[in-house]
Amino acid sequence: VRRNPGEAEFHQAVREVLDSVVPALTRHPEYADAKIIERICEPERQIIFRVPWEDDRGEVHINRGFRVEFNSALGPYKGGLRFHPSVYLGIVKFLGFEQLFKNALTGMPIGGGKGGSDFDPKGRSDREVMRFCQSFMTELYRHIGEYTDVPAGDIGVGGREIGYLFGQYKRITNRYESGVLTGKGLSYGGAQVRREATGYGTVFFAEEMLRAAGDSFDGKRVVVSGSGNVAIYAIEKVQLLGGTVVACSDSSGYVRDDKGIDLDLLKELKEIRRARIDAYAARRPHASFVAGRTVWEVPCQVALPCATQNEIGAAEAAALIRGGCTIVAEGANMPTRPDAVRAFVEAGVRFAPGKAANAGGVAASALEMQQNASRDSWTFAHSEQRLREIMADIHARCHATAQEYGMPGNYVAGANIDGFRRVAEAMLAHGLI
């Protein structure tokens, strides 16, 4: 805490991982000898830069850009860019730290990094977003590359932003380096299923949790927070597997629709019109909009937090438990506070942390890099099948590791220990660097 003052989210993420890797440290004294913990908590490189841009009225704005290159023991730094006014170094470091173990869990050759800016894309025109992205990339380009650091999207950075960022990278470097960014459009090197991958992957993971208990999504009531990229495709896959999503949200409140969320309407409102969630209830007379509250008060059997960090505290966890929830799988990064995780565990709710449950996004990004490197493009069906296998494999490893360490069913311990061990082994092999 003294070394990284004021970075509350980073402290929370580090504490959560360190708490659960203690048994691995006891079993592997060589990790302590090589000061793996101290080294793993210190990013390899942190870049902070000025991003000047001009709005449509000619007014000049200055934002701050970040890229934290956390750890490259397993491969090039890999992780998304977030554009949101709440972004500061503590958020980027928490996300980069989580990313490192998540990427390790996928079993693919990718290291951990994260970046972004305190720029708020909300209410900005396409041209303003384009000018911002161009200015952001004018600095970022010198730090990234197919073999060094490969950014992707996150909150506020979707297909439109990745397109502008890629265009500027190509222009500055005069290189068509497809593998420098992932989440690209299908017309210029993007991969099938990348857009759907985080949401679908979270649902595949939850499906494995259900299967392990002899159950399935069929007939389940599900609530999903958020209505962005992760949430929309989580809702889509739940519906395809026979569940009913009865509520979703944005930062203004939530909509409840007991007949099941109308996905076409939600996509039209969120992906095309960029509307607020109350517009959904205005178009579906039997649905209701509840302003300023969270979805967790709606009774459900499965909860998929897919919006943002720290959205489930003790009160929300208690409401979920009261409402009959038995499975929570995190689509977002660290949406559940530590006290809420404890409450779930004590109540016997099976809980999957984001670094395992939402790893489908980065896994699909690694598949996109694989296709770019071989100048190939796979079908939707093949890509989805690969994603499904990867999620089943992550689930199996978390499950087995938790068992190996005498904590059966504890996905938090399983994910943290397995991810940590993979990174630690590679760091040991590379020597003191």
What positions carry a catalytic annotation? Answer: 114
Cα gap 208→295, rounded to integer Å: 24
**Annotation-wise, does 184 bind a ligand?**
no
Cα gap 185→323, rounded to integer Å: 40
CB of 24 to ligand NDP, least distance (A): 24
**What single DSSP character describes residue 308?**
-
Q: Answer for the pair 154, 82: CB distance below 8 angstroms, yes or no.
A: yes
Give the total of residues touching ligand NDP (CB under 6 A). 25
Nearest CA-CA partner of 238 in 284, 318, 301, 323: 301
CB closer to ligand NDP out of 360 and 424: 360
Binding of ligand NDP by 227 (CB under 6 A):
yes
CB of 333 to ligand NDP, least distance (A): 4
Q: Answer for the pair 382, 390: CB distance below 8 angstroms, yes or no.
A: no
Contact string 303-322 vs ligand NDP (x = CB under 6 A)? ---xxx--x-----------
CB closer to ligand NDP out of 215 and 271: 271
**Dihedral sign of CA atoms 353, 400, 200, 326 in order:** negative
**Annotation-wise, does 78 bind a ligand?**
yes
**Annotation-wise, does 58 bind a ligand?**
no
Cα gap 157→248, rounded to integer Å: 20
Q: Answer for the pair 84, 157: CB distance below 8 angstroms, yes or no.
A: no
**Annotation-wise, does 237 bind a ligand?**
no
Binding of ligand NDP by 332 (CB under 6 A):
yes
Cα gap 321→324, rounded to integer Å: 5
Q: Which of residues 347-366 bind ligand NDP (CB under 6 A)?
A: 358, 361
Contact string 136-165 vs ligand NDP (x = CB under 6 A)? -----------------xxxx---------
**Annotation-wise, does 153 bind a ligand?**
yes
Binding of ligand NDP by 230 (CB under 6 A):
yes
> Phi and psi dihedrals of 72, rounded to 5?
-115, 25
Binding of ligand NDP by 225 (CB under 6 A):
yes
CB closer to ligand NDP out of 7 and 31: 7
CB closer to ligand NDP out of 208 and 311: 311
Contacts 24+ apart (CB under 8 A), 213-218: 213/350, 216/241, 216/242, 217/241, 217/242, 217/243, 217/302, 218/242, 218/243
DSSP assignment of 223-269 equals EEE--SHHHHHHHHHHHHTT-EEEEEEETTEEEE-TT---HHHHHII
Selected from 250, 257, 368, 384, the binder of ligand NDP by CB under 6 A is 250
Residue list, annotated binding site for NAD(+): 198, 229
Residue list, annotated binding site: 78, 99, 102, 153, 198, 229, 365
Binding site for ligand NDP (CB under 6 A): 153-156, 198, 225-231, 249-252, 306-308, 311, 331-333, 358, 361
